[in-house]
Amino acid sequence: MRIALALAGMLVMFVVAVGVLFLGVLGFTPVNACSGACYAPFMMATVGTVVIGLSAAFATWFRALREPRAYWPWVGAALMVGLYLVSLSVAEKVL
């Protein structure tokens, strides 16, 4: 049961990551010449999502092939959504 729950969580986390990356690139790419703070929401949405996804996948499966830690993909998906909301908040201030 844990393996099925972990695989379902990985699928959900992948779908959330693709959505956050798509919306992050679409919404936070600077269109005017800028430097510094205006790249913060873009970097948060892109780099942060990749780091959270890789960390959650590693935490789920590393040394746990018989009994994976099934809650980490769900935590990763929630963190990705939270990171997107924080980057929206930062974007309102700097863009």
Contact 23, 91 (CB under 8 A): no
pLDDT digits (tens, 9 = 90+) for 31-63: 778 877 888 999 999 999 999 999 999 999 998
Confidence band for 95, pLDDT divided at 50, 70 and 90: confident
The pTM score is 0.90
Q: What is the pLDDT of residue 38?
A: 85
Contact 42, 24 (CB under 8 A): yes
Contact 44, 86 (CB under 8 A): yes
Choice between 38 and 85, residue whose per-residue pLDDT is larger:
85
Cα 37 to Cα 27: distance, rounded to the nearest angstrom: 15
